[in-house]
Amino acid sequence: MRTELKTAIIMGVIVAGALGGLGAYFGSLEEQASPLNDAQTQTTKGESAMPNIDKTRFKKAPKLEGISGYINTDSQELQEQIKGKVVLYDIWTYSCINCQRTLPYIVAWNEKYSDDGLVIIGVHSPEFEFEEDIDNVRRASEKFGITYPVILDNDKEIWDAFENRYWPRKYIADSEGYIRYDHIGEGDYEETEKVIQQLLAERAAMLGLNVAAAEELVDIKEFKHGSRTPELYFGYDFAFDRNQLGNAEGFQPEKSVKYTIPQNIKENSFYLDGTWQNLADRMVLTSDTGMILLPYYAKEVNIVAAGQSELEIFLDGKLISASDTGSDVKDGMVITTESTLYSLVKTENSSPHVIQINVKKPGFEIYTFTFG
């Protein structure tokens, strides 16, 4: 009985060992055959997570060529700054209200992550001719607290290289230059910041650095849109094939036209009184005084304007109240001194209104109405 028992024990040990070896073998095969996606990593105890990502489907960020000017950097410094870094390319233009609303987030990300390997490049691709002036862009950059590099893309070579068609647009490239994220317009700030954190973690792992736990996200209140009125253009070239000017006289390219506001007006069309010169990207008041009338549906109204003038703002037939004024209105008046965006109306909720702008001096130039 003792001999039989000893033999059974020995056989049991052999079988168990064989089964364990087969299990380990097949387990290793299964592990090798399981592909990793972007969010998965291989780790060993005491080491940083090393990304294992197939990047063949990603494009590389294009070379930055055709630059018309530099702010907060220069050509040589910029190339050194982006080498081996995670790079956020922000395509913007300073008089664009949608661009302006994204800037607090971008400025905050620069302050928070620049020491961790993030470089932000503001690619300033102008919509209007006055936005090509580097002094205008520099003043705007200072106004919005931008300390990261800004490059002037006046001929839109970088815009075209990215195959872009929108303001604003954010591309994020990883430390090897592959574009891993692309976002058009405002919003999705949490998603964007999480991508920044992910790509910085990948970079740290590739460099053998300790990967810190993901930080809390930037806490900035997001603007909530409520406008039903689209952006309205005063330049005949920009407004081509859009029924935005409500006057019977219509657009008359390169001519000075005397406009009269009709009796019946409709929402989302603007109306002029006075003599206005029709230019490709704007209208210029040539009479001593003039007026702009617009029925709209929104909570915010802005204009992109230029020329030194005085504007008197009425809302729904009354001088605008202090509770409804935009940031550039004081005692119902706006003094235009530079080529930029001016905030006229900020009401608490989106609703229908009629704004009336009385222009007190000739030479006033207006490009667009924008809303929020």
Asked whether residue 227 is assigned to any structural domain, the reply reads no
SS3 content of the chain, % helix, strand, coil (to 5): 25, 30, 40
Asked whether residue 122 is assigned to any structural domain, the reply reads yes
pTM, two decimal places: 0.85
Question: Do 258 and 170 share a structural domain?
Answer: no
Asked whether residue 38 is assigned to any structural domain, the reply reads no
Question: Do 64 and 183 share a structural domain?
Answer: yes
Residue 239, Cα to own-chain centre: how many angstroms?
A: 23
Question: Do 157 and 245 share a structural domain?
Answer: no
User: What pLDDT score does 15 carry?
Assistant: 36
Q: Say how far apart CA 370 and CA 372 lie, in whole Å.
A: 7
Question: Do 314 and 242 share a structural domain?
Answer: yes
Question: Do 240 and 119 share a structural domain?
Answer: no
The label of the residue with tokens 């987030």 reads 105
Residue 108, Cα to own-chain centre: how many angstroms?
A: 14
pLDDT digits (tens, 9 = 90+) for 223-262: 999 999 999 999 999 998 777 999 999 999 999 999 999 9
Asked whether residue 32 is assigned to any structural domain, the reply reads no
Q: How confident is the model at residue 19 (pLDDT cuts 50, 70, 90)?
A: very low
Q: Say how far apart CA 251 and CA 284 lie, in whole Å.
A: 13
243: CATH: 2.60.120.260
Using alpha carbons, select from 118, 99, 13 the residue that is nearest to residue 304.
99
Question: Do 356 and 313 share a structural domain?
Answer: yes
As beta bridge partners, residue 341 has 304
Q: Answer whether residue 7 shows pLDDT above 80.
A: no
The predicted model gives 296-323 an average pLDDT of 98
Question: Do 132 and 60 share a structural domain?
Answer: yes
Q: If you average pLDDT over every residue of the chain, what do you get?
A: 88
Q: Answer whether residue 311 shows pLDDT above 60.
A: yes
147: CATH: 3.40.30.10
Question: Do 266 and 170 share a structural domain?
Answer: no
Asked whether residue 30 is assigned to any structural domain, the reply reads no
Domain count, the chain: 2
User: What pLDDT score does 51 carry?
Assistant: 56
Domain hosting residue 76, numbered range = 51-206
pLDDT digits (tens, 9 = 90+) for 60-76: 999 999 999 999 999 99
Question: Do 353 and 255 share a structural domain?
Answer: yes
Question: Do 164 and 242 share a structural domain?
Answer: no
Q: Say how far apart CA 151 and CA 90 lie, in whole Å.
A: 10
Question: Do 196 and 100 share a structural domain?
Answer: yes
Asked whether residue 61 is assigned to any structural domain, the reply reads yes
Q: 79 in the Ramachandran plot: left (φ > 0), alpha (ψ -120 to 50) or beta?
A: alpha
Question: Do 349 and 245 share a structural domain?
Answer: yes
User: What pLDDT score does 213 carry?
Assistant: 66
